[in-house]
Structure 1
Amino acid sequence: MIHAVLHDSKDTVAVAVVEGIKAGTELTAWIMDEDKTIHVTAKQDIPIGHKVALQEMNVGDTVFKYGVDIGKVVAPIAVGDHAHVQNIKTKRW
Structure 2
Amino acid sequence: MPEEHTKAVPQFLAHKEGDHVAVAVQDVSPGTAHGCILHGDQDLTVDVQDTVPLGHKIALTDLAEGVDVIEYGVRVGITTAPITAGQYVHTHNVRSARWQSSVAH
Query: What TM-score do the two structures reach when normalised by structure 1?
Result: 0.91
- In the alignment, does 2:30 pair up with 1:23? yes
Larger-Rg structure = 2
Q: 1:35 and 2:29 equivalent?
A: no
Aligned residue for 2:56?
50
| 4+ long deviations beyond 2 Å | none
1:47-78 Cα shifts (integer Å, max 9, x gaps): 00000000000111110112121010001101
% identical aligned pairs: 32
| Structure 2: runs of 5 or more not aligned | 1-8, 101-105
Q: How many residues align?
A: 91
Q: 1:13-48: CA deviations, max 9, x gaps? A: 0000012x1112x11111011122110011000000
RMSD: 1.1
Distance 2:21 2:55 in 1: 12
User: 1:64 aligned to 2:70?
Assistant: yes
Q: Kindly provide the amino acid, as one letter, of the partner of residue 14 in structure 1.
A: A
**C-alpha distance in 1, partners of 2:38/2:87?**
21
Q: 2:66, 2:13 → 1: CA distance? A: 24
> Partner residue of 1:8?
16
Q: Which moved more, 1:26-35 or 1:73-82?
A: 26-35
> Structure 1, unaligned stretches of length 5 or more?
none
Q: Does 1:88 align with 2:94?
A: yes
